[in-house]
Amino acid sequence: MTQFKKTLTKYAVKTMLVVQAFLFRYKFLNFLGYTLNHLLAWSRIIAKNIQKTDSPGKLGMKWQQGFPSMKHVPITKIDARTVYAEIHTPCPLQGSGDVEACYKMMSFDRTIAKAAGGQFVVLQSQAQEGVYKCRVAMRLKGEDMSDLLPAHLQD
C-alpha cells in the first residue's frame, strides 16, 4: 500500500469513527448510525468475499478482513470455542464512559462476525475509563456466550 493510500485510509477511518460516535451518542440519530454501519459492513463483506466458516480461528481471520489493517485488530488467543482479539484503533469515545454508544458502534463488527457465521461481544471498551484498546471475543453461531460479560452490561 502506498504512503498516500495509507494516510488517506487512516483519516477516512478516523473521520468515520467520529461520525459514528456522534450518531450513536444521540438516540434520535441512532437509526442513521445503524444504517451507516450496516452499509459499511456489507461493503467489506462483499469486497472481501467474507463467508461462513466452521472454526473459531477462521472466524477471527474473517472478522479481521473487515478492517483496512489487520495489525490494528490482532487476534490474541484462540481456544476450542473462542477467538479473542483487540482493537487498537483509537476511538472517539475513549474514556467517555459511554459504553452504550460503544455497543452500538460495534454493530459493524457484529455484522461482519455474523456474516462469517459467528457472534461478537466486547469484553472491555475504550469508552471505559483508563482503557486504551478494546478486548473482544467471538464464537460460532449457536455457541453459548453467557460466560462472556459484555462491557455495556458491566457495572
117-144 mean pLDDT: 97
| 95 residue type, one letter | G
Using a cut of 0.85, tell me whether the model's pTM lies above it. Answer: yes
* Torsion from C-alpha of 14, 72, 64, 69, nearest 10 degrees: 70
Q: What is the biggest distance separating any 2 CA atoms in the chain, rounded to whole angstroms? A: 44
86 CB-near residues (< 8 Å, 6+ apart) = 73, 74, 76, 133, 134, 135, 136
- pLDDT above 90 (res 8): no
- pLDDT above 90 (res 144): yes
Q: What is the pLDDT of residue 1?
A: 66
145-151 mean pLDDT: 95
Q: What is the pLDDT of residue 135?
A: 98
**Per-residue pLDDT reduced to its tens digit, 18-61:** 999 999 999 999 999 999 999 999 999 999 999 999 999 899 99
122 CB-near residues (< 8 Å, 6+ apart) = 102, 103, 106, 134, 135, 136, 150, 151, 152
**Per-residue pLDDT reduced to its tens digit, 91-123:** 999 999 999 999 999 999 999 999 999 999 999
Q: Which CATH class is domain 3-153?
A: alpha beta
**Per-residue pLDDT reduced to its tens digit, 50-76:** 999 999 989 999 999 999 888 999 999
* First CA to last CA distance, the chain: 42
Domain ranges of the chain: 3-153
